[in-house]
Amino acid sequence: MANHKGTIGILTGGGDVPGLNPAIRAVTIRAIGEGYRVIGIRRGWAGLVDMVPDRDVDNGLNFQELDYDAVNRAVRTGGTLLHSSRTRPSHLPKDAVPPHLRDTYTDDINDVTPAVLDNLEFLGIDYLVPIGGDDTLSYGYRLHTEGVKVVAIPKTMDNDVPGTDYCIGFSTCVTRTIEMANTLRSTAGSHERILVIEIFGRYSGFTALLPTMAGAADRCVIPEHEFDIEQLTELAVYDRNRHPSRYSVVLVSEGATMSGERSFEGDETDQYGHRRLGGIGDKVATQISGLSSTYNNGRQINVVSQRLGYLVRGGAPDALDSIVPMAFGNLALDLLLEGTSGRLVSIRNGVYDNVPLDVVDGSHKSVDVQKYYNTERLRPNYASFNSKPLFIMTSDL
């Protein structure tokens, strides 16, 4: 350890996406090459909560030292070799407090940040690189305010982290959504159905808009605009009846609202206050089927619903989610090596960049409905592609 310039910690939090392992690899290989030791913190923030700062205690479930062999084996795979969790150390429920901290933290909800800081010191972490969405990174910002040197990498297939056009996982999600929607067309066409596909997108509709723009669907509904089911039904029936194979496809974001309500699976929330979304696709399909006769000369149309769910989250990354994480990892090291922290690496207007980390401590990035969504046709709207970023409508500038 005496021969190292310092120690860099890296972790992944929140939902897994393809591209995390390439980011871990990029940070690790660059850091080792620059003379740093790399510690992988396991299970996101949970590793720093559950860790016991004692050399005689087995903390193998909480951290591991990373080397070339560890990261090279995983680079072509999906998921995260460091594992993940949705642990929020600033809002830790009493039943999630580890045994060695239960005498200190006894409230129903606890801020165990002092213990996290102790564990970072125990590991000798000089710089911390969290990879995650705005929930994970908001706690990274909290640590930055506590004096920890943090450079963050944005990850979420919803692409809703503010301050960046692109988040790791988004391209693979869009690619898989297009592939699977096109695969499902054969059964929709064979039975002259309307096909409703539910996809990820809690607060932002980018994962629905981009595939629809690419021709994977005829219509889409997104979280940023409350939709009218009769309007959607009329459009879907119109699309179906004008198609030579008499079918149509509708993409539904999991966070879309119908009649002012989102669809949840139970009342339980995670530590960030999120209830599990799901089921909106089935509800939309049922209502379209019931209303379809009104717009189809009195004849009801069969409607089928399919939730893509974790099929777009699992598996290997596509080309962009192999290249961008590599660049993000190196950008993070560039900043740390020049002594800069409190930053989020980013892509802005198609160019690699970085922004202040406090950008994540605010609202989610969302679709500009007026610019990019036609509320009358329930489709993407765009005036021109000139000077737009790669994914057209993902810039927050």
DSSP letter assigned to residue 150: B
Determine the Cα–Cα distance for residues 355 and 345; give it in Å rounded to an integer: 7
The single-letter code of the amino acid at 318 is D
Quick check: is 56 catalytic? no
Pairing of strands 194-199, 303-307: parallel
Determine the Cα–Cα distance for residues 391 and 209; give it in Å rounded to an integer: 10
Tokens for 183? 């695969």
> Is the Cβ–Cβ distance between 157 and 17 less than 8 Å?
yes
- Residue 41 phi/psi, 5-degree rounding, is -85, 125
- Number of helices (H) and strands (E) in the chain: give both, helices first: 11, 17
Determine the Cα–Cα distance for residues 122 and 291; give it in Å rounded to an integer: 62
Cβ-based neighbour number of residue 4 at 10 Å: 15
Angstrom distances, CA of residue 75 to CA of 36, 37, 94, 121, 365: 20, 19, 37, 29, 29
Spatial neighbors of 157 by CB under 8 A, at least 6 apart, are 15, 17, 167, 169, 170, 172, 173, 200, 207, 312, 313
In which residue are the tokens 């800069």 written? 340
Burial 240-260, CB ≥16 within 10 A → b, else e: beeeeebbbbbbbbbbbbbee
Catalytic residue among 16, 50, 135, 158: 158
| Cα-only R_g, the chain | 23
Dihedral angle at the C-alpha atoms of 33, 39, 40, 41, nearest 10 degrees?
Answer: -150
What angle (nearest 5°) sits at the alpha carbon of residue 200, between those of residues 84 and 346?
Answer: 65
Find the distance separating the first CA and the last CA of the chain, reported in whole Å.
44
Q: List residues with catalytic annotation.
A: 158
